[in-house]
Amino acid sequence: MILKHKAALAVDFESIGQLKHLLPQLQDLKRQQPAHYKKSIASSLFIESWEQLFYGQNVEEIALKITLKALLALALPGCDAYFFKTVKIEPKSAENILKSAFSELIEGKIDSNLYRKLFEEIPSLVTAFYSENTLGEKQTNFKEKYWFVNPLCKQPRAGATKPGLPRLLLVPPEMHSDHCLITAVYAVLLSPCFKAKAGLPFLTGLAHHLHNAVLPDCGFAGEIALGDQLQPIIENSRTEALKKINKAESKIIMQAITNHENLNNAEGRSSSAADVLDRVLDIKWRVRAASVTEKEVLDDLELVHDGPIKNFQTAILKSADL
């Protein structure tokens, strides 16, 4: 079904529906932290996205690269540049591994043109894996000028709040960096459904909670409590967050933020759709994790899976009455 908006922007709901099995899986990246990571995979990609923007990368290119990395992490979490070089895998072998994993997991589950673009990014991704890291002074400048990135990695989301009701804190906490990164990736995956370019919705997803680098997340109930001071506080918080960035960069980021919830263009609708999907799917992830059954883990997911010692393992479990 394709719905026509009053501004004559089409929404392909059938294509959105085709993503329903893939989008929930990306929630895992908020909780996974490989041994050589300092933060979750989602937060690590959030930081990397802002670094690439700081270093002058084109936003469309960043959107594709980070989305590719997020999708690859579903099958190979933590299998990145550090991993492949540490285990001494040759570049061509690494490329073949990533192509095989990507095609098996993603082909047929996203827009075909987007799939092709992402697949074609894999060789350049591998080349970057094996290139020397020469950030040096730039890294220090990034941390100083884009200082807001670190607070967003440390600022938890508010949980579920509603005026007049007690706050429901969610565990494990979701950082703003987790939410913003997954929203950005969702926006890229949704962009074909709205006939939108990927770059602006991706940047909107990254930046739409910029004010929370200064404003602690009080949730909906807290926003109501702030009353008519809420909007000035948000605006002043954004100004404070961007105070060390030059006007040109600041303007690009603010344009992305103001496009959030703008339903008059395809890019705004893509980012708005991504935001609500992430918020709801985050809760569904928690409910599923809290209500998982023995059958799902032991039988459906085959915790004791086929292998050379499965018979031995099964006998042990039987003897232990498990």
pLDDT at 2: 43
pLDDT at 118: 98
Residue 278 located in a structural domain: yes
Residue 233 located in a structural domain: yes
Q: How many domains does the chain have?
A: 2
Asked if 9 contacts 269 with a C-beta cutoff of 8 angstroms, the reply is: yes
Examine the domain organization and report whether 174 and 98 are in the same domain: yes
Rounded Cα gap, residues 302 and 285, in angstroms = 20
Examine the domain organization and report whether 36 and 110 are in the same domain: yes
Examine the domain organization and report whether 73 and 131 are in the same domain: yes
Residue 114 located in a structural domain: yes
Q: Any bridge partners for residue 65, and if so which?
A: none
Examine the domain organization and report whether 97 and 188 are in the same domain: yes
List, as one string, the DSSP characters of 169-216: --SSPPBHHHHHHHHHHHHHHHGGGGT--SHHHHHHHHHTTGGGGTS-
The rounded average pLDDT for each run of 10 residues, N- to C-terminus, in the chain (322 residues) is 48 81 96 96 98 94 98 96 94 97 96 97 95 66 95 92 85 93 98 95 97 92 92 96 94 95 92 94 89 83 85 86 82
Residue 113 located in a structural domain: yes
Query: CA–CA distance from 64 to each of 162, 196, 207, 238 (Å)?
Result: 36, 14, 17, 26
pLDDT at 29: 98
Asked if 151 contacts 168 with a C-beta cutoff of 8 angstroms, the reply is: no
For 70, other C-beta atoms within 10 Å of its C-beta total 21
Examine the domain organization and report whether 55 and 126 are in the same domain: yes
Residue 158 located in a structural domain: no
How many residues in the chain? 322
Residue 162 located in a structural domain: no
Residue of 263, 156, 162, 146 whose CA lies nearest to 207: 146
pLDDT at 121: 97
Examine the domain organization and report whether 213 and 318 are in the same domain: no
pLDDT at 135: 57
Examine the domain organization and report whether 229 and 271 are in the same domain: yes
Rg over CA atoms, the chain: 21
Examine the domain organization and report whether 280 and 309 are in the same domain: no
Examine the domain organization and report whether 205 and 304 are in the same domain: no
Examine the domain organization and report whether 124 and 252 are in the same domain: yes
Q: Any bridge partners for residue 12, and if so which?
A: 2
Examine the domain organization and report whether 110 and 219 are in the same domain: yes
Asked if 209 contacts 173 with a C-beta cutoff of 8 angstroms, the reply is: no
* Alpha-helix runs per DSSP H in the chain: 13-18, 41-54, 59-75, 81-86, 91-106, 112-120, 122-129, 137-145, 149-154, 176-190, 199-207, 219-226, 230-241, 247-258, 266-291, 294, 310-319
Residue 270 located in a structural domain: yes
Tell me the pTM.
0.89
Residue 164 located in a structural domain: no
The range of the structural domain enclosing residue 298 comes to: 294-322
Examine the domain organization and report whether 10 and 98 are in the same domain: yes
Query: CA–CA distance from 269 to each of 140, 255, 283 (Å)?
Result: 36, 15, 22
